[in-house]
Amino acid sequence: MQPLEGIKVLDLSRLAPGPFATMIMGDLGADVLIIEAPPGATSEMNRPWAEHDEGRENAFDPLRRNKRSIVLNLKDERGRAVLHALAKEADVLVEGFRPGVIKRLGCDYETLRRINPRIILCSISGYGQDGPYVDQVGHDINYISIAGMLGVIGWPGTPPAIPGNIVADFAGGGLHAAMAIMAALIARHTTGRGQHVDVAMSDGVLYLMASWLKLVLAGGEPPKPGQSFLNGRLPLYNVYETKDGGWISVGSIETKFWRNLCRAMEAEQFAERPFDPAIFEEAKAHFAAKFKTRTRSEWFEILSKEEICAAPVYNLAEALEDAHNLARGMVVELEHPQYGTVRQVGVGPKFSDTPGAVRSLSPTTGEHTDGVLQSIGYSREIIARLKADKVVA
């Protein structure tokens, strides 16, 4: 058994946040059905980094794993009728359209709850379902800007450092959506009703910044890039280049860890002054020179034995080969009929009694259309007619 076994999820989302939320639910056992648009029905995102072999790219796509797929034209009344039939038996519907689109497609919350009062609709958008920016377009970089996060990343005197699209898309959006959906499922046990969950990625990023925001809310100065407690000002929480061009991250905030670091760096003159601004630049310069005397792996081997908060800065390929990540099951292998062994990232949370799992790789687009339609009472003849009219595929 898995934690979400028996929960049925309809996934109407397209870009990263929604598919990540439903990936989490699928990894934890939910039955996730992707409802895909017919070819040419939606705007395609520019993907200059994508492989030319779309089939291979699809096979390795974690956001589609543990899911089934149908193609459904929701601009056709018959397509909406199929969606409504599916919604009648579903627990959750996830969508990531711009506000107002789901109403035009006939799957807004008022419509859905008349069909199924217990259904939970989760809408994921950049700025939410209301407010001055409700119609504003955007992407991760814009949401982290509005929430103040981009403004604290980087070094003094340089432009803000643009992170990958992890913070707003996946954490502020997808992760918050999965958490909110599960909370709504628990609430349903008490109320007997579903509800509409409004997840704005800009809200999610501000939520993630709660601990940082307390400083400003209490009347303090806003953190600046590279000049605050945990974003580069302190020598004890920083990154240092090594002899081989690699990098080591240091996070020795606690007094005992700082003293151990100073001892390992032959810098005991700083050991009793971890938060003294007078020694910051001198200590960073000393550490920078010292770290240049050995390679990244040599330093990690030394520091990891001395109760010092330190770790090598990996690229993603290196992270996939790290012994600890492998031991924790964070890389899994499945067999694909065309591409052989396919590796994917494992499931994050570990359960002692009902563990999650990667049960299946990404479906091909529309792979389960016939089976899904038959399961809700459509005959082969009607399915063939719907295909001919391009309502399903």
Encoded tokens for 63: 């956001």
Encoded tokens for 280: 């910051």
Whole-number Å distance between alpha carbons of 21 and 164: 18
Decide if 29 contacts 1 (C-beta within 8 A): yes
Q: Quick check: is 139 catalytic?
A: yes
A 10 A CB-CB count for 136 gives: 14
Whole-number Å distance between alpha carbons of 73 and 89: 20
Q: Quick check: is 169 catalytic?
A: yes
Report in angstroms the alpha-carbon separations of 335 from 2, 24, 28, 274, 343: 22, 21, 20, 51, 9
Whole-number Å distance between alpha carbons of 268 and 290: 13
Decide if 372 contacts 70 (C-beta within 8 A): yes
Kind plus residue range of the DSSP H or E element containing 178: helix 176-191
Burial of 207 (0-12, 13-18, 19+ CB in 10 A): middle
Report in angstroms the alpha-carbon separations of 267 from 263, 284, 297: 6, 11, 21
Catalytic residue among 84, 108, 139, 336: 139
Q: Is 203 in a helix, a strand, or coil?
A: helix
CA dihedral 297, 302, 308, 309 (to 10 degrees): 10
Cβ density class 3-38: b for 16+ within 10 Å, e for less: bbeebbbbbbbbbbbbbbbbbbbbbbbbbbbbbbbb
Decide if 195 contacts 118 (C-beta within 8 A): no
Catalytic residue among 169, 176, 198, 286: 169
Whole-number Å distance between alpha carbons of 158 and 147: 20
In single-letter form, the type of residue at position 272 comes to E
Nearest one of 122, 100, 86, 95 to 14, comparing CA atoms? 95
Q: Is 304 in a helix, a strand, or coil?
A: coil
Residues annotated as catalytic (active site), given as ranges: 139, 169
